[in-house]
């Protein structure tokens, strides 16, 4: 069975481990530099296995050498937002965290696929690619799946349908300029534009863009953990099971959508090799303009990293 390492055993990292354990598709190694933190969380999860029925290995460590042999390494470490702060404000601190982790991945898991969660995720995904020297299709971010599921939930609430009947696509960055094309939000294949008036669709898009901030403002002392944890698990599962699932992920682009030397959330097909296909959609002029705005924000952030 494949091994998946999750670096950072905070709320999101442990939630991801739990959802992944429930799927039973990979052995799990939690890593945290705080002595005992990852080991304790792993033990807690393992002790639930007789009740939840997952038959996998779950372990924790403070030593990076224990990521050796990982098929996937998830970077879920670093500072998180506090109320009234922006994701971009985490850049200076989290680039140092990601930098140190990349060196450990290169040393102990050089053949792994990297999934970045640390904020600002899109810029740090690009940074991780450049610093690792990995194939760009083996380095991706985790944001598009999270943003997509939020769009689906808000759409389902508005229509009174089950969320599993709703699908969506989210492009660009994981910020207030994320691009949510209404024509690609569908319920049982029916475009939401045929089911709801423009005013309600605009509200769904606005709510989805601000979803993380809304949760943070309510919880105050912590950010979202269940939804991003579930999104990580879905992304990892697609890779380790070679399912060829199509989902939106921050992807390092070299010509796709006419963008180079940047990272944007776009739909891709995932499999055992990581990103196996980047899907280029036909976009309307309005959506292209929105995507350009989103890309400009990310480009400026990447340029500030000096890479």
Dihedral of alpha carbons 193, 197, 202, 203, sign? negative
Q: Where are the beta strands (DSSP E) in 158-259?
A: 166-167, 186-187, 190-191, 246-254
Residues 115 and 207 in one domain: no
Residues 149 and 134 in one domain: no
If one counts the domains in the chain, the total is: 2
Residues 267 and 184 in one domain: yes
CATH of the domain at 30: 3.40.50.720
Catalytic hit among 3, 37, 174, 186:
174
Instruction: Name the phi and psi angles at 275, rounded to 5.
Output: -80, 110
Residue labelled with tokens 């959506």: 287
Q: Is 175 a residue of the active site? A: no
Of the candidates 74, 78, 41, 82, the one whose C-alpha atom is nearest the C-alpha of residue 220 is 82
Residues 218 and 270 in one domain: yes
Residues 25 and 119 in one domain: yes
CATH of the domain at 213: 3.90.110.10
Helix ranges restricted to H, 49-197: 49-52, 91-108, 121-132, 144-159
**Per-residue pLDDT reduced to its tens digit, 145-188:** 999 999 999 999 999 999 999 999 999 998 788 999 999 999 99
Pairing of strands 113-116, 186-187: unpaired
Q: Which domain holds residue 105?
A: 3-141
Residues 28 and 149 in one domain: no
Considering 141, 156, 179, which residue would you say is the last residue of a domain? Answer: 141
Name the DSSP letter for residue 196: S
**Per-residue pLDDT reduced to its tens digit, 98-114:** 999 999 999 999 999 99
- Determine whether 285 is exposed, middle or buried from the number of CB atoms within 10 Å of its CB (0-12, 13-18, 19+): exposed
Residues 134 and 43 in one domain: yes
Q: pLDDT (tens digit, 0 to 9) for every residue of the chain, 307 residues total?
A: 999 999 999 999 999 999 999 999 999 999 999 999 999 999 999 999 999 999 999 999 999 999 999 999 999 998 877 676 666 677 888 999 999 999 999 999 999 999 999 989 999 999 999 999 999 999 999 988 999 999 999 999 999 999 999 999 999 998 788 999 999 999 999 999 999 999 999 999 999 999 988 998 899 888 889 999 999 999 999 999 999 999 999 999 999 999 999 999 999 999 999 999 999 999 999 999 999 999 999 999 998 888 7
Residue labelled with tokens 């939804």: 227
- Note the pTM of the prediction, 2 decimals: 0.95
């Amino acid at each position: 069975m494949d091994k998946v390492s999750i670096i950072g055993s905070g709320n999101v990292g442990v939630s991801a481990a739990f959802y992944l354990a429930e799927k039973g598709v990979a052995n799990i190694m939690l890593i945290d530099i705080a002595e005992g933190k990852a080991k304790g969380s792993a033990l807690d999860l393992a002790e639930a296995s007789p009740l939840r029925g997952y038959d996998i290995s779950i372990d924790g460590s403070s030593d990076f050498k224990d990521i050796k042999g990982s098929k996937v390494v998830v970077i879920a470490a670093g500072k998180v937002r506090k109320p009234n702060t922006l994701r971009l404000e985490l850049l200076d601190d989290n680039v140092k965290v990601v930098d140190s982790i990349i060196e450990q991945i290169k040393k102990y898991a050089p053949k792994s696929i990297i999934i970045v969660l640390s904020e600002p995720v899109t810029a740090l995904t690009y940074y991780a690619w450049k610093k690792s020297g990995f194939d760009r299709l083996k380095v991706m971010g985790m944001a598009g799946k999270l943003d997509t599921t939020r769009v689906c939930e808000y759409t389902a609430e508005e229509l009174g349908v089950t969320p599993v009947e709703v699908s969506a696509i989210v492009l660009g960055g994981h910020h207030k300029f994320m691009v949510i094309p209404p024509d690609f939000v569908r319920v049982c294949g029916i475009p939401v534009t045929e089911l709801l008036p423009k005013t309600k669709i605009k509200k769904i898009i606005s709510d989805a863009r601000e979803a993380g901030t809304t949760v943070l403002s309510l919880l105050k002392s912590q950010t979202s953990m269940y939804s991003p944890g579930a999104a990580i698990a879905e992304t990892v599962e697609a890779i380790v099971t070679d399912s060829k699932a199509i989902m939106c992920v921050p992807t390092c682009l070299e010509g796709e959508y006419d963008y180079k030397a940047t990272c944007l959330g776009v739909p891709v097909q995932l499999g055992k090799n990581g990103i196996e296909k980047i899907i280029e959609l036909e976009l309307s002029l309005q959506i292209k303009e929105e995507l350009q705005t989103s890309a400009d924000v990310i480009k400026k952030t990447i340029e500030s990293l000096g890479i």
